Chain A
Amino acid sequence: MDTSSPSAFVNGALLRRYIGQKVRTVIQVIGSDTGSVVGKSTDDLQIVVRGPSTTPPLTTYLEVIGIAESDNSIRAETWTNFGNTFDPQNYNELCKLASGEFKHLFI
């Protein structure tokens, strides 16, 4: 059992707090390029995700787990298609709770 690489739940605004650390977030895909995806975070800020050079077909929402490089970009280790019917508002509220009052349950 190993809790050495937890990833923090972040939205656009919280990303800057975890620069250099492992984070996870869900973005709404706006556009993609070879090796990077541009998306909108659950709190409507733009986030760029640098990932593996082959980008498989993406659904509307994409979960990205990786290292935060700056306050608006992430270097992805894994990403998972979260489908087209994801509720970003719920996720946004979860990010706030998981980084605030209930942080000790997660990190």
Chain B
Amino acid sequence: MFSSSQFEPNSAFSGGGFMSSQAYESSSSTAKNREFQGLVPVTVKQITECFQSGGEKSGLVINGISLTNVSLVGLVCDKDDSKVTEVRFTLDDGTGRIDCKRWVNETFDAREMESVRDGTYVRLNGHLKTFQGKTQLLVFSVRPIMDFNEVTFHYIECIHFYSQNSESKGQQAGDVTQSVNTTFQGGSNTNQAVPLNPVVSSQNDGNGRKNLDDMILDYLKQPACTARQQGIHIDEIAQQLKIPKNKLEGVIQSLEGDGLIYSTIDEYHFKHVEL
């Protein structure tokens, strides 16, 4: 009486839909340099290293991200405010020293710079510029540090930012090893009395799908699964494919976003979209 597919896959997701999980987005875009307009926490050593490797023309690039605005924490040295409109000083953050310049045009700026003395720890936000072979920081914000946990925090933030960006670059390599493992697991299931066809993903359809996607799709495409109107629960998929559920969740969201599977009676049951 009822048609086998009671749901209109398109309308179920009209106007909403899921965004692919972020991990997928970033792994496909790591190949190219990303333009990052935010404020990057760095150490002076990182600035000098990237300058040396890039050369003047290329602009400053750290971890594949071209930098302009940076945040630093360090000690002020050699403050020189002999000129009325500009204050120069050196920032020593323990990993190196960098020349800084601050244009003082308003009384606000002048007041800000008064509180900065030699030997004070400050938080600087500024713009990296290369001039006549030297890298300089054009500072637009200076604040003396009151709570010194900020010093610890800054360096940890530099480490965090660095490792996040190295990680997303390495993720492609990481995913390859993951998919190799899951393929092996999928293959070993054939001996069990389970309706799972050997999922050895020799098909590489070339649109960048990783093996985990294929495994889920192949599983859901099987007649035993498509016949079930209420769809397959994610726990069952995890059990059958022997993959932890948390790994599946992101992949399933992205497959849903791409319109290849859809959720049925609730957000945990899925079926393959039959066209």
Contact = CB atoms under 8 A, between A and B. Distances in A.
A63 B155 CA distance: 15
Interface residues of B, number: 31
Interface in A80-104: 80, 82-83, 85-87, 90-91, 93-94, 97-98, 102, 104
A5 B148 CA distance: 22
Contacts of B147: 83, 85
B162 interface: yes
A28 to B, nearest CB: 13
A106 B95 contact: yes
Given A102-B162, A106-B43, A1 B98 contact: yes
B159 interface: yes
B97 to A, nearest CB: 5
Contact of A6 (B95, B134, B135, B153): B95
Interface stretch (B44-52, B205-213, B262-270): B44-52
Question: Does more than half of chain A's interface fall in helix, strand or loop, or is it mixed?
Answer: mixed
Interface string B133-175: 0110000000000011101110110110011000000000000
A3 B44 contact: yes
A25 B113 CA distance: 28
Given A3-B44, A105-B45, A105-B46, A82 B96 contact: no
A82 B148 contact: yes
Contacts of A93: 156
A17 to B, nearest CB: 16
Given A1-B44, A107-B95, 19 more contacts: A1-B134, A1-B135, A3-B45, A61-B148, A63-B148, A63-B151, A80-B121, A82-B148, A85-B147, A87-B149, A90-B152, A94-B155, A97-B156, A98-B155, A104-B45, A104-B49, A105-B46, A105-B95, A107-B45
Interface of B: 43-49, 51, 75, 94-99, 119, 121, 134-135, 147-149, 151-153, 155-156, 158-159, 162-163
Nearest 9 pairs between A and B by C-beta? Answer: A3-B96, A82-B148, A2-B97, A7-B94, A90-B152, A106-B95, A102-B159, A6-B95, A91-B152
21 contacts: A1-B48, A1-B98, A1-B134, A2-B97, A3-B48, A3-B96, A3-B97, A5-B97, A7-B94, A9-B155, A63-B151, A78-B75, A82-B148, A83-B148, A86-B149, A90-B153, A102-B159, A104-B49, A105-B43, A105-B95, A106-B43
